[in-house]
A = this chain, B = another copy of it.
């Protein structure tokens, strides 16, 4: 029952995960998009993990096993969160440090504050914590059979570009891609996280038998900087692919100067 340790080659090592689970179309499209750039290992959740943010599993064991993932060189499914999958890959499955970690392509946007809730970006940020360049990709269409062909082309070019950068170990990117024909996409914009919030409207309904009320999280996004032209929201609303560089240090340095206790 022992798992087999498989050696990597000397090609650039690309680790891919996601939060929609290993059976989602988006991760298969990402594998296809970048497989010419290196040896592709997939370690992805065995079930959907949307909204899991950077959460990790502390209170129960994790399992992983071989899986198929289209054209990946090697693939494993794991019972944990996206961040768990990255840890499992780095410390148990891969024989060496990957050259880059990719997450996605997510079915749906992770722009603005959605990055905080995003399992896709939780995985990318986990990579950044280990000084590995990491990129999360998200397509602005959440349907299971969305067309990822344009997104795949942009993903390929961005990955190639980041892999070629010198001193890229601190590069962590939140890439969101409009759902449109390639000729309608104007290019790539480097952006900042748009300030915003979800005005929640828990949908209330009743248990079919005991009639106890339950609540299902839903809501409406509000852009709190609608005039700004340097945000990810602006870029996406104006036909650009948005690339937000991300830091794992969330210290408010300005506030640090003025707080006194």
Contacts and interface: CB of A to CB of B under 8 A. Distances in A.
Interface of A: 1-3, 48, 50-64, 83-84, 87-88, 90-92, 113, 115-117, 119, 122, 125, 129-131, 157-158, 161, 170-172, 187-188, 190-193, 195, 197-202, 205-206, 210-217, 243-253, 255-256, 259-261
A81 to B, nearest CB: 8
Given A158-B261, A217-B58, A259-B243, A172 B252 contact: yes
Contacts of A252: 170, 172, 245-247
Contacts of A171: 255, 259
Contact of A249 (B64, B195, B243, B256): B195
Chain B CB count within 10 A is highest, among A87, A131, A247, for A247
Given A129-B197, A246-B250, A249-B195, A213 B53 contact: no
Per assembly, the copies of the chain total 2
12 contacts: A52-B53, A57-B217, A61-B214, A61-B215, A84-B217, A116-B129, A116-B248, A131-B197, A172-B252, A192-B256, A246-B251, A247-B251
A192 B253 contact: yes
Given A200-B87, A247-B252, A250-B115, A261 B161 contact: yes
A115 B248 CA distance: 10
The CB with the most chain B CB atoms within 10 A, among A113, A191, A206, is that of A113
A197 to B, nearest CB: 5
A155 B246 CA distance: 31
A163 to B, nearest CB: 13
Given A202-B91, A255-B245, A52 B55 contact: yes
Given A62-B217, A215-B63, A55 B195 contact: no
A166 B51 CA distance: 34
A259 B195 contact: no
A47 to B, nearest CB: 10
Contact of A63 (B117, B130, B212): B212
B53 A58 contact: no
Given A190-B259, A192-B249, A195-B249, A117 B56 contact: yes
B200 A90 contact: yes
B88 A249 contact: no
A52 to B, nearest CB: 5
Contact of A54 (B53, B172, B191): B53
